[in-house]
């Protein structure tokens, strides 16, 4: 999608009008993954965190690692949820799960806007 605002709009969301995979706007990746990458560097490289602490206040190494672990757990959970929801909506589960694990909720919101596929067995 070219615009982040468009992802909240559901007009034209009929299954025949949808590609099997869609991406959130590029800036979502920068906005969410940039800080997560910085957190990873600080949490996993205590020497770097110590250098940063000389210039600006920063949480303890233990806190940085805990916050990073929590962020990773949340992203993995979102990815698992995307896998389940993609299967329910009849779209390729792997690309949706990987993208959602990487960028998080913007991808999950796009996926959840898609209509569910009717189950013919019912």
Q: What is the pLDDT of residue 3?
A: 46
Q: What is the pLDDT of residue 60?
A: 95
pLDDT band at 59 (very low <50, low <70, confident <90, very high): very high
Instruction: Specify the number of domains making up the chain.
Output: 1
Does 68 reside within a domain? Answer: yes
Does 44 reside within a domain? Answer: yes
pLDDT band at 8 (very low <50, low <70, confident <90, very high): very low
| Global pTM value | 0.75
Range of the domain at 37: 27-112
**Cβ pair 42, 65 in contact under 8 A:** no
Does 1 reside within a domain? Answer: no
Higher pLDDT: 103 or 6? It is 103
Q: What is the average pLDDT across 66-72?
A: 97
Per-residue HEC secondary structure of 59-87 comes to: CCHHHHHHHHHHHHHHHHHHHHHHHHHHH
Does 89 reside within a domain? Answer: yes
Does 74 reside within a domain? Answer: yes
Does 84 reside within a domain? Answer: yes
Does 12 reside within a domain? Answer: no
26-57: per-residue pLDDT in tens? 999 999 999 999 999 999 999 999 999 999 99
Does 104 reside within a domain? Answer: yes
């Amino acid at each position: 999608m070219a615009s982040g605002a468009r992802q909240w709009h559901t007009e034209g969301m009929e299954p025949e009008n949808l590609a099997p995979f869609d991406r959130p706007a590029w800036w979502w990746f920068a906005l969410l993954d940039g800080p997560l990458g910085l957190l990873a560097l600080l949490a996993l490289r205590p020497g770097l965190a110590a250098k940063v602490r000389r210039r600006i206040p920063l949480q303890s190494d233990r806190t940085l690692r805990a916050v990073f672990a929590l962020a990773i757990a949340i992203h993995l959970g979102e990815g698992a949820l995307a896998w389940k929801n993609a299967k329910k909506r009849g779209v390729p589960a792997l690309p949706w799960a990987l993208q959602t694990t990487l960028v998080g909720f913007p991808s999950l919101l796009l996926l959840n806007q898609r209509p569910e596929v009717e189950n013919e067995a019912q």
